[in-house]
């Protein structure tokens, strides 16, 4: 593979590590390609953001394949992860500190499995205030960090599968298959509400985007090793 191959377009499946932003992964891949082939410019983008606290599949497109990003973004996605019951956080995940706690002693496995059924099909979901969505030209997280109240309209998303895979309270493991635009953090928050309790997302891994699987993805280190051998 040479510089022209990357300019004509390549699809790179990366297993995003914890605490990296999706943008940092794109920058790293771009820098490695430019360095290896001594080229000044190359288009590189990703097909769907993963939060820094999430791991898993990130589709990276290079060159002319960046035109296909919207097509990949629109595909159904699969996630696995963990909700922690009995508490909430403002960001609905571990990015912010716990702001409320709840008693979970009365919650049963049956309650948990029953609650999950409420979220299958088309549902209304409100994105987290700690998100990169824009309102009035500003990112929502900018309002949140400034302590400003902001009205966030709910949106329709589709969840085709929501399976509880393990219960070890306060931890609840799950697998979700959902449409573009679904926030798993919001799902965690709403799941807690459905139990008349609280919940936040404590672990998340994206396992599939359409027909692409994280099993076929490589680490950033493996990509670096591959490209330096070219």
Examine the residue annotation and report whether 51 is marked as an active-site residue of this protein: yes
221: nearest Cα among 37, 32, 57:
32
Pairing type for strands 199-209 and 54-62 reads parallel
- The tokens for 51 are 């939060």
108: how many CB neighbours lie within 10 A of its CB? 11
Active-site pick, 5, 15, 51, 103: 51
Strands 134-135 and 121-125: unpaired
Largest CA distance in the chain: 62
Contact 73, 57 (CB under 8 A): no
Residue whose pair of structure tokens reads 């990112």 in the numeric block: 139
Q: Taking the alpha carbons of 161, 80, 164, 155 in that order, is the dihedral positive or negative?
A: negative
42 DSSP 8-state letter: -
**Active site amino acids:** 51
């Amino acid at each position: 593979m040479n510089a022209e191959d990357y300019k004509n377009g390549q699809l790179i499946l990366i297993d995003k590590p914890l605490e990296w932003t999706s943008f940092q992964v794109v920058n790293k891949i771009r820098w490695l390609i430019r360095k290896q082939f001594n080229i000044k410019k190359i288009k590189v983008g990703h097909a769907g953001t993963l939060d820094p606290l999430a791991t898993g599949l990130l589709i990276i497109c290079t060159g002319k394949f960046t035109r296909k990003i919207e097509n990949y973004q629109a595909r159904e996605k699969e996630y696995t992860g963990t909700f922690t019951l009995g508490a909430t956080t403002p960001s609905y995940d571990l990015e912010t500190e716990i702001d409320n706690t709840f008693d979970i002693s009365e919650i049963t496995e049956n309650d948990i499995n029953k609650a999950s059924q409420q979220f299958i099909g088309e549902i209304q979901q409100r994105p987290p205030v700690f998100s990169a969505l824009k309102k009035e030209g500003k990112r929502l997280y900018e309002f949140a960090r400034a302590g400003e109240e902001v009205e966030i309209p709910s949106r329709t998303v589709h969840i085709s599968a929501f399976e509880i895979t393990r219960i070890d309270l306060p931890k609840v493991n799950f697998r979700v298959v959902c449409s573009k635009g679904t926030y798993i953090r919001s799902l965690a928050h709403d799941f807690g509400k459905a139990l008349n309790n609280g919940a936040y997302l404590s672990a998340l891994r994206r396992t599939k985007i359409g027909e692409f699987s994280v099993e076929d993805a490589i680490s950033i280190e493996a990509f670096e090793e591959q490209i330096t051998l070219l």
